[in-house]
Chain A
């Protein structure tokens, strides 16, 4: 079906004097801005926005939408992104006027319902983490990391300890070192061993009295739980440092083990992943943090407290780091996380992780005879396969396989991450997929492996476009339309 009539750029389908949204006539007897304001404030140039009628606008965007793959249409085993189903009740409840039309600066007593939900959410996230205090403020996981590191810096400053180093395993996501640098720390890389776990010898050699924080993702980015974790957290604590858990992979351990119980002192959640907010082609997310008792005074303000007089935003936090964004937090996503937790309850959350891990291990077992799986035949909620042998033997890359999957109606796994595995294909099926889906996905992957290499280099073959020229895009960036 040709969609090109409606999917030219908005600026190309713009037609002078067409309108979509009309405004009422002005009903107050007041002069216009051009009469009341000095002309130095007034713009001399048009905004250049497109002029489009409602039906053309709708056809444009609806037809564009059909060029996307999405969880509601396709299996989306994108490793490390936890692309689970987004329940529809979340969207309905999240857009209730009584929630979506609450202003962030209205007085506490006029929004007690909202505060009650968010107060409970603070408590649930503390309980799931096994930690004592929670800030719902950070807008995304990366901002949660930064917030927690700023909390750690303020904590050591308050204790008058001069600690400058953050230790980060080489398998960590790039946000970890980037956040540490903005928080003012020096980053020290810790090697992984052949099993994909922290190299203890390397870690021990790098811990000293300047160690502020050790950041660990556990389960790690290879989908492995590091069973040395208690030993690691003990070592860091003995040296006077704090342990940060990157909570990207919480989907594997809900109700099974808690970061606070295995020695983490701070962590962030990716609410949009673990508790399923719609990913919206890149966001929004929500990255609340949970911390141990001694760090609570340093959390951003406000946090919600319950008093005999109802729920209140508590700004009276003299040691607080301040805030990392305006207003309370990414409430829309926090609400969806709350709906999910309330829908599942304690049994349900545990089953989420059990089924996420079962599905990942099952998919791994279906693929292990056909693909190279460098880190053993068991995993947590995700695993990393490698196309390195295929590359050597048939010159097929992970990218080729990923692109070909698109033709079959599957989203590609995460390719080329983590960096510690060459030709990585990281797969995370999540708990909201069935055995049949995994069976047919695995069968498709195995079929692709045996397809003609040249044919794969040119995949995808059936989508709206073939492979884009990324070099051209980066060499002479065209970031906007121009007349």
Chain B
């Protein structure tokens, strides 16, 4: 997946919106910050996703972070292969390391999601 074509949340999730399905993952920046990922706590298929609310946790040896839903809807799929081997997220955060798919409910305002350039700008300013 080309990171430039994705949308981004302030909390470092990327979102790929195709029709009413939103695929969610974590950015390379966030994954690198976590260092070695050892465990990902995922929701169940069928759980509701609430915009801005945590739907899971990602753990490294030293830290644990919430993962937040960029859109509202129902969780229709989780990446089982990633749960089995969490290191995939470090190797391929924009591809095989995707986290979940959400079926977007109704018409939603997605203005809170940033473009690639805006996100790049944010992480540059965070780093200082």
Asked whether any CB of A lies within 8 Å of a CB of B in the complex, the reply is yes
B36 touches A (CB below 8 Å): yes
CA distance A416 to B63 in the complex (A): 12
Q: Using Cβ atoms and an 8 Å threshold, which residues of chain B touch A475?
A: 38-39, 86
CA distance A85 to B12 in the complex (A): 47
B110 touches A (CB below 8 Å): no
CA distance A264 to B116 in the complex (A): 50
A471 touches B (CB below 8 Å): yes
B61 touches A (CB below 8 Å): yes
Interface residues of B in 50-65 (CB under 8 A from A): 59, 61-62
A470 touches B (CB below 8 Å): yes
A36 touches B (CB below 8 Å): no
Q: Using Cβ atoms and an 8 Å threshold, which residues of chain B touch A471?
A: 36, 38, 61
For A470, give its contact among B59, B61, B86 (CB under 8 Å). B61
A474 touches B (CB below 8 Å): yes
Determine the interface band of chain B, counting residues with CB < 8 A from chain A: under 10
B interface secondary structure, majority: loop
A interface secondary structure, majority: helix
Total A-B pairs, Cβ < 8 A: 12
CA distance A475 to B61 in the complex (A): 9
- When C-beta atoms are compared, the residue in chain A nearest to B85 turns out to be A475
CA distance A188 to B39 in the complex (A): 28
What is the size, in residues, of chain A's interface with B at 8 Å between Cβ atoms?
5
Interface residues of A in 431-483 (CB under 8 A from B): 470-471, 474-475
CA distance A221 to B38 in the complex (A): 29
CA distance A454 to B1 in the complex (A): 37
Give A187 Cβ to nearest chain B Cβ, in Å.
16
Q: Using Cβ atoms and an 8 Å threshold, which residues of chain A touch B86?
A: 475
Give A478 Cβ to nearest chain B Cβ, in Å.
14
- When C-beta atoms are compared, the residue in chain A nearest to B36 turns out to be A471
The interface bits of chain A over 403-428 (1 if a CB of B lies within 8 angstroms of the residue's CB, else 0) are 00000000000001000000000000
Q: Using Cβ atoms and an 8 Å threshold, which residues of chain B touch A416?
A: 62
Give B74 Cβ to nearest chain A Cβ, in Å.
29
Interface residues of B in 32-72 (CB under 8 A from A): 36, 38-39, 59, 61-62
Give A429 Cβ to nearest chain B Cβ, in Å.
27
Give B40 Cβ to nearest chain A Cβ, in Å.
11
CA distance A416 to B38 in the complex (A): 20
Interface residues of A in 22-68 (CB under 8 A from B): none
Q: Using Cβ atoms and an 8 Å threshold, which residues of chain A touch B62?
A: 416
Q: Using Cβ atoms and an 8 Å threshold, which residues of chain A touch B61?
A: 470-471, 474
CA distance A416 to B62 in the complex (A): 10
The interface bits of chain B over 81-100 (1 if a CB of A lies within 8 angstroms of the residue's CB, else 0) are 00000100000000000000
Give A449 Cβ to nearest chain B Cβ, in Å.
24
List 10 additional contacts besides A471-B36, A471-B61; criterion CB under 8 Å: A416-B62, A470-B61, A471-B38, A474-B38, A474-B39, A474-B59, A474-B61, A475-B38, A475-B39, A475-B86
Which A residues lie at the B interface, using CB under 8 A? 416, 470-471, 474-475
Q: List 12 interface pairs A-B (beta carbons < 8 Å), by A numbering.
A: A416-B62, A470-B61, A471-B36, A471-B38, A471-B61, A474-B38, A474-B39, A474-B59, A474-B61, A475-B38, A475-B39, A475-B86
Instruction: Please list the 3 inter-chain residue pairs (A to B) with the smallest Cβ-Cβ separation, ordered nearest first.
Output: A471-B36, A474-B38, A475-B38
